[in-house]
Amino acid sequence: VQLQASGGGLVQAGGSLRLSCEASGLTLDSYLSGWFRQVPGEEREAISCIGRYRNGGTYYADSVKGRFTISRDDAKNTVYLQMNSLKPEDTAVYYCAAYRGVYRVGRCRSDMDYWGKGTQVTVSS
């Protein structure tokens, strides 16, 4: 199983980025999948998750509601995070992850089964 995250970079405040997470070895629409971020010295934070199949529900952290959108392309086995109106406080390493077990619709889980390597997002002021 591999989750390959990409799309990070340097952007000015107010700008946009789209993160991609392509999965291999598993079918993403059968998993809860999502995005987390971590700043050095702080705990990893759940940003957004999307549930299984078409009506699996979505979750957004309060800090990103209205600015970030999670989506999944089942044909490409890829989950995306569209990030708009970026702020300097969004600067972090972003990780994608997947979970096979039971979950509450509209929520994330911190104990995801599979994690990708992070991609750095830096927002300059």
- Residue pLDDT tens, the chain, 125 long: 999 999 999 999 999 999 999 999 999 999 999 999 999 999 999 999 999 988 889 999 999 999 999 999 999 999 999 999 999 999 999 999 999 998 898 999 999 999 999 999 999 99
The three-point CA angle 100-106-110 to 5° equals 50
Task: With beta carbons less than 8 A apart as the criterion, state whether 93 and 118 touch.
Answer: yes
Helix (H, G, I), strand (E, B) or coil at 20: strand
Pairing of strands 9-12, 119-124: parallel
Residue 55: per-residue pLDDT: 83
